[in-house]
Amino acid sequence: MANESPHAAGTAPAFAGNHEPRPLPFDPAKLPGLSERLLRSHWENNYCGAVKALNAIEQRLASMLEDAELPPYVYGDIKREELLRTGSVRLHELYFGNLGGDGAAGETMDRILARAFGSFSRWEAEFRRTANALAGGSGWAILAVTSRGELHNYWAWDHTSGAPESHPLLVLDMYEHAYHLDYGAAAARYVDAFMRNVDWDQVRQRLLEATAPRQGDHETWETTWNPG
């Protein structure tokens, strides 16, 4: 095959299946309103389970690609699972990554969200309403910044329905596994607890990274991609 990579199919980065779970960035015994039992179960069973599944899928794709007789729809089913598991892994990492704070947004984020939504309280009211609209079902509430610098709260009904060209800043898991052990069907109380534990420094850092100039990254990618 022309321009074939020196990687064997099973070791090429796209098929390596060597993702490792990220540890919790906080002490799960110290988040008010969210029990250690809940947080550890969520991390071990749901997040780590998604990492394990993604690794298996990537490796399976490599072997399936070698089967010239494989029907496209069979490959498509696994590709769909790849997208779902990738989304689950990344969103869970963002979710756990924005926990462990004191819930105080601070002056900078207060001002930024007020400018986008009219006031900080209006942003929070809409974020909570978006989250509670997912209660009893599945999905994610996501505060994101678009490639145009616009801030929006998005309703994501599964791991794949994020807005194109948007960067998640604050991610709230509204699948029942995220709250049922502590709150049963009382999802609104879980949202209350989540808001008390948001690490707004992490949210602000994500915003800075998402809106920073990318010229240096572009040049590095161009250099890596272009063999000439």
- What pLDDT is attached to residue 202? 98
Over residues 110-125, the mean pLDDT reads 98
Over residues 34-54, the mean pLDDT reads 98
pTM higher than 0.85, yes or no? Answer: yes
Distance CA 46, CA 178 (A): 9
- What pLDDT is attached to residue 215? 55
Q: Is 222 or 208 the better-scoring residue by pLDDT?
A: 208
- What pLDDT is attached to residue 136? 78
Domains of the chain: 35-97 (1.10.287), 106-210 (3.55.40.20)
Helix (H, G, I), strand (E, B) or coil at 39: helix
Question: For the segment 149-163, what is each residue's pLDDT rounded down to a tens digit?
Answer: 999 999 998 999 888
Angle at the Cα of 40 from the Cα atoms of 145 and 144, rounded to 5 degrees: 5
